[in-house]
Amino acid sequence: MADLTDIPGFESFTEIKPITKGWSEDKKYCVIKADGTKYLLRISPIERYEIRKSLFEMMKKVSALGIPMCKPVEFGVCPDGVYVLHNWIEGEDLSDVLPNLSETEQYELGLKAGEILQVIHSIPAPENQVNWAERVNRKIDTKMKKYQECGIKIDGDDNFIKYIEQNRYLLENRPQCFQHDDYHVGNMMLENGELIIIDFDRSDYGDPWEEFKSITWNAQLSASFATGQVNGYFEGEPPLEFFKLLAFYISGGSLAHVLGAVTWGQHEIDVALNLASNVLKWYDNMNNPVPTWYLRDFK
């Protein structure tokens, strides 16, 4: 266990429970104070001080918008690195709960997720952001080169590559804003029926529509939820331009997912390949920008 003795209020901690779930390098604990209040305590390596400090300040801005989230409470330095204290969410992982709900309930939670995302995107990007098209094209070129060299191939990857090359023009003149950048059911919880957003660790600035690239995870679990998320964000059916651009981002994301999975082993490679296969089915091998998981009649 990390050395927590220098954290202000340590003497009031009556219980400290390590949390092992998740992919982060951080040490995580559920700490309980004498008055019964629970907190999530995260400790990161000291080298991440500036990153953690910036994230803590941004989370305060997001929280001020009224977003239902794991709220930042305290930030500081301790013997084992940088610590951040958040309020504790006494809920269940949405990915566990969603399959047990009715289609209508899934859709309504999706609507809420879309509405919340719209508010998150109200935070503008700094004016000195690199041109979006330039930034994404450079990133995609790098990812595609590494994908071609990685040795693991998606059956039908030529459909992704063709779609990317034919639709780069869609990146031009796109706006940028604050992004959660990992917005899917795995980073959402349900507490007393309320949707709570967690884990802003990957937050960034970029095209608001790019945020939906993670919707593949949602669609794989619940088409109703994914449809609701899109409709909630757009307050109705989105324009075709959105679907075209989303298909572009998902094409690039499918290649990048396989590339990233290589470092985690065969299980993660299989997960990535399975998701890519589903994407190709939803999009008719990238010939139809409107995926089959989008339920037009569910309104």
Tens-place pLDDT, residues 58-74: 999 999 999 999 999 99
Higher pLDDT among residues 216 and 35, named by residue: 216
Q: What is the pLDDT of residue 8?
A: 72
**Predicted confidence band of residue 250 (pLDDT cuts 50, 70, 90):** very high
pLDDT of 228 over the 80 cut: yes
Q: What is the pLDDT of residue 13?
A: 82
Question: Which is more confident, 259 or 1?
Answer: 259
pLDDT of residue 290: 98
Average pLDDT over residues 230-255: 97
Mean pLDDT on 254-277: 93
Q: Which long-range contacts (CB under 8 A, 24 or more apart) does 277-285 make?
A: 277/154, 277/155, 277/156, 278/216, 278/220, 279/216, 279/250, 279/251, 279/254, 280/154, 280/156, 280/159, 280/160, 282/219, 283/247, 283/250, 285/156, 285/159
**Given pLDDT bands bounded at 50, 70 and 90, which one contains residue 256?**
very high
Residues 6+ apart with CB under 8 A from 158: none
Question: Model-level pTM?
Answer: 0.93
Question: How many CB atoms are located within 10 Å of the residue 287 CB?
Answer: 11
pLDDT reported for residue 291: 98
Q: Residue 251: is its pLDDT beyond 90?
A: yes
Say what the pLDDT of residue 154 is: 96
List pLDDT tens digits, range 135-186: 999 999 999 999 999 989 999 999 999 999 999 999 999 999 999 999 999 9
HSE-up (13 A, CA, CB side) for residue 51: 12
Q: Region 82-100: what's the mean pLDDT?
A: 94
Mean pLDDT of the chain: 93
Other C-beta atoms closer than 10 Å to the C-beta of 240 total 10
pLDDT higher than threshold 90 for residue 289: yes
